[in-house]
Amino acid sequence: MKPLRSTFVLFLLALGGGLYIYFNERGAPVAQGAVVLLRAPRESVRVVKLSPANVELRRAGESWQVQSGRRSAPANPDAVRELLDALELVQSQAPVENAANLQQYGLDKATARLVVDGKSLDLGLSPLFDPSLVYARSGEQIALVSADLSAFARRRFEGWRVRAGAPNPAGKTDAGAQNR
């Protein structure tokens, strides 16, 4: 009976360790000393609004719809997956210490904005020393992030929808998309 009890105790310890990792270590890891501007786990994101492109991506079950004004179409799953990967954890090792002058960073009138389920990320200018970065603001925090986020916000409707003739996740073609 003693070996069975030892096995059971080891099983419980392994199960407890697995549950701890599952519930406490989920999501992308934050780098030590980094500032987290936005965290959007891909499974929980429902709506992403992108401006200045004036595009909205909305989850429709397992697939996504892209809307812009009166136009609506199935969204390209690869493009949406790329965006969700970028938004899962927006962090920076380069926070701005003196954030009083928003105009200096192009954030007084943001050049681009991403709104993920109501959480806003304003994007401003690129610093002169590195055009692959842009200044970003979330709440009171300002930091440098990848300019790819700005490119997502500027991508037009046509860049998000399923291309004509390409199968969408439901296996249908885009030929019948409504309100083009």
Q: Of 8-22, 29-43, 95-109, 138-152, which has the strongest mean pLDDT?
A: 138-152
Question: Residues 132, 145: contact at Cβ < 8 Å?
Answer: no
Predicted confidence at residue 96, as pLDDT, reads 84
**Given the structure tokens 């030590």, which residue do they identify?**
32
The two tokens of residue 163 are 């291309």
Taking the CA atoms of 146, 148, 153 and 154 in sequence, report the sign of the dihedral they define: positive
DSSP 132-153: TEEEEEETTEEEEEETHHHHHH
Quote the mean pLDDT of the chain: 83
DSSP percent split of the chain into helix, strand, coil, nearest 5? 30, 30, 40
Statement: residue 172 has pLDDT above 50 = no
The two tokens of residue 42 are 């891909």
Predicted confidence at residue 16, as pLDDT, reads 79
Q: Which residues have CB under 8 Å from 31's CB, separation 6+?
A: 91, 93
* Amino acid identity for residue 124 in this structure: G
Q: Average pLDDT for residues 132-157, to the nearest whole number? A: 91
Q: How many other β-carbons are positioned within 10 Å of the β-carbon of residue 163? A: 12
- Give the whole-number percent of the chain exceeding pLDDT 70: 82
- In sequence order, the β-bridge partners of residue 138 are 141
If pLDDT is split at 50, 70 and 90, which confidence band does 180 have? very low
Q: Average pLDDT for residues 154-161, to the nearest whole number? A: 93
pTM of the predicted model as reported, rounded to 2 decimal places: 0.71
How confident is the model over 85-109, as pLDDT tens digits?
999 989 888 888 877 778 778 888 8
Domain ranges in the chain are 34-176
